[in-house]
Amino acid sequence: MVRALARVDLGAIERNVARLASVAAPAVMCAVVKGDGYGHGMVPAARAAQAGGASWLAVATAEEARGLRAAGIDGPVLVMGALSPEELEVALAARADVVAWREGFVEGLPPSARVHVKLDTGMGRLGTRDPEEATRVAEAAGDRLVGAMTHFATADDDPGFVADQLVVFTPWAEALKAAHPGLLVHAANSAATLREPASRFDLVRCGIAIYGLDPFQEDPAEHGLEPALTLLSYVAEAKTAAPGQSAGYGRRFVAEAPTCVGTVPIGYADGVRRALTNNADVLVQGRRVPLIGTVSMDNITVDLGAGGAAAVGEEAVLIGRQGGERILAEEVARRLGTINYEVTCGISGRVPRAYVP
């Protein structure tokens, strides 16, 4: 029995990609596998996504592109992030497409490079805000030009601003495509793919949803998505607690009635955030039990109830299903005041990943 494990259902990723591809059709599917596949494992997630119909993969860094190629993964790969001169060499050596928004960047690229020009329509990060400059970059790219792109700032919560961004992006992209008929126009992330048909263009870049996580922070099942990740440990110890006895650093849980405290050997070094202290549930023996006391580096404690000693050795699920109960990453995120992305990306490398087909 392992102390902590993240079990990843690759079949769920494959089915989620197929589901999103059917929504996006006839647009091409690009699966975003940056951030170690949002904590699920970049290479296994990429292979599952390709099996589900993703013809493109996207990452944030040159090293991620190199990692895909080193694993023997073929097909188009887009590096979406900024690149230093040294990182650019790594990206090009990995046969990855790169993103440009300055003429000087394009002019230094070799003839074999493949370029996507980025127009900043409202995200306010990478890209140029000037459509005329973006067009000049595209013309400077010449035969190296592959795509035209933007990035939505509010697709998950403000469709009105998405519409504003499309007002800027669409005419620029259409004019550029008229001059370059083979151009791939792309803008949509997971939320826009599901919510904004006008944003799908030629290619969609789906990240969070391919892992069965809801881009709107509600219930992925509402969009036909299956969560791929289960985070689990086990009950290593259980001891009675009389009224007045405590559990954990700082005595942040003190028993008010006789109960049984279970110790689960997983903690903040594994990605279970300390802010979940007295603020989460764990599934044990098919039921929810409250996380009590302070989350420490290597352990948490749970209130198993008066008869809880029988739970020693039983599986403890922090994210996922057990019996008829489930705990979604979205629930954990709400308790933390964050988003599901951070919950799964925050599962540390100390937690082994196990993959099931």
Catalytic residues: 34, 249
Distance CA 271, CA 274 (A): 9
Amino acid at 48: A
Give the helix, strand, coil percentages of the chain, each rounded to 5: 35, 25, 40
What is the DSSP annotation of 172-215? HHHHHHHHSTTPEEE---HHHHHH-GGG-TTEEEE-GGGGT--T
- Taking CA atoms, 85 is separated from 91, 114, 142, 145, 255, in Å, by 10, 16, 21, 19, 59
Encoded tokens for 343: 């919950």
Encoded tokens for 273: 């955030």
Q: Where are the alpha helices (DSSP H) in 52-158?
A: 62-70, 85-93, 103-107, 131-141
- Taking CA atoms, 27 is separated from 154, 186, 202, 240, in Å, by 21, 9, 5, 59
